[in-house]
Amino acid sequence: MRIFCFIFLFFFVSCERNAITGRRQLNLFPEADLQKQALTEYRSFLSKNKVIPVGTSKQAEMVKRVGLRISEAITKYYTQKGLSNELVGYNWEFNLVNSVEINAWCMPGGKVVVYSGLLDVTKNEDALAVVLGHEITHAVAHHGNERLSQAFIAQGIQVAGDAFTKNNKETNTVFNAVFMPGTQLGVLLPNSRNHELEADHFGIIFAAMAGYDPRESIPFWKRMDSQNNNKMPEWLATHPSNEKRIQKLNENMDEALMFYKSK
C-alpha cells in the first residue's frame, strides 16, 4: 500500500499547470533532455529520408514560409504574455520530405517535418497553416512529455501491483488482466484524444495569429475524412473522430477568428 501512496504523491507533485492551455498536466521529464533527444532523432530521420530542398521546390518554399510565419506569431504571443522562457531551446526548422504519407509532426525544440503527400489534402496555405499550428501546439503544450510521463506512471503502477499481488495467483491474474487494458482504454487513449482536440483548438488560433484563415480547417478535415477508409470506434482510437474534430473546431472558430480579423 505504501508503494501506491508514494506513486500517487509522486503523480500529484509532478503535475504542473501549462502556461498557455491552463490545464494541469504530468511532465516528469526535463524539457531540455527531450529537446536533445528529439534533435538526434530529427537528424537521423532527415539522413534516411529524401528532403526536398527549398531552392528547388515551390512546395518546400511554402512549407518553410508558412512554418516561419506561425513560429514568429507564437514567439510574439508568448513574449507578450511574459512566457518567453517557455520557448527556450526552440530553434525552428521546417522541412518537406518526399513521401506519399499524409502526415506532419513537430518535435520538442521546434523541429518540423511535412510529408509531401499531405499537400495533396491541404490544397492551400491556409489549410497547411492549420496543420502546422496543430503539430506545433503538440510540442509547445508538452503533449509528448505528458504522454511519456503517463506511460511511465502506468508501467510503475503495473510493476508495483504485480509485486503486491504476486503471492496470490488469482488476484495477480485478475490485476494483470484488468489494469493495463483499463488504463489504456480509460486513461491513455482518452488523454491522447484530448491532446488532439487541444492541438486543434490552439492550432487554429496560432494559424489565425499568423494571418491564415482558420475556417479552412473545416474543409480540410472533411477532405481528411474522405481519405479514411478504415474507421474504428472512437473509444479504441488514439485520435477523435473527424466528425468530433469538426464539431469542436466549429465551437472554437469564433475565438480563432478574433485573432484572424485583428490582423
Q: What residues does each domain of the chain span?
A: 34-145+189-261
Catalytic (active site) residue 135: yes
Q: What is the pLDDT at residue 168?
A: 58
Cα dist from 83 to 88, 103, 111, 140, 206, whole Å: 10, 30, 20, 11, 15
Residues forming beta bridges with residue 248, ordered by sequence position? none
Cα dist from 46 to 22, 49, 96, 177, whole Å: 34, 5, 10, 41
Mean local confidence (pLDDT), 212-218 = 98
Q: Please report which confidence band the pLDDT of residue 52 belongs to, taking 50, 70 and 90 as the band edges.
A: very high
Return the minimum-mean-pLDDT range out of 64-78, 133-147, 176-190: 176-190
Q: Tell me which of 86, 125, 135, 198 is the catalytic residue.
A: 135
More confident residue, 75 or 27: 75
Least Cα distance to 213 among 151, 155, 126 occurs for 126
Asked whether the beta carbons of 54 and 60 are under 8 A apart, the reply is: yes
